[in-house]
Amino acid sequence: MKIKETGKDLILDVYVRPRSKEFKIVVEADEIVVHCREDPVGGRANRELVKELSRLLGKRLELVSGVSSRQKRLLVRDALKSEVESALRDV
């Protein structure tokens, strides 16, 4: 998984596939693929991504880069790498 530690925060690299039938997270080899239900119009897919991942991890998230791209970089506040990895594997 592409998770980088920056002090007490983490940077999470994800690939987003919008317009899916259901919201789901798939960890494929070294890549995190998130299937979002929303269209990528007006930031709706980005909002769904941040909301659902925040709920799953129980942490505050911010979209750092990739607003108009499918490759996104998220900042996870006050998180340990081990707990994020285990939460993503359990999905």
pLDDT, tens digit, 9 for 90 and up, residues 40-67:
999 999 999 999 999 999 999 999 999 9
Spatial separation of the C-alpha atoms in residues 44 and 28, rounded to whole Å: 24
**Helix, strand, coil share (%) of the chain residues, nearest 5:** 25, 35, 35
pLDDT of 1 above 80: no
Q: What is the CATH architecture of 3-89?
A: 2-Layer Sandwich (3.30)
Average pLDDT, the chain: 94
Quote the pTM value. Answer: 0.92
Cβ atoms of residues 18 and 40 within 8 Å: yes
Residue extents of the structural domains in the chain: 3-89
CB 57 within 8 A of CB 76: yes
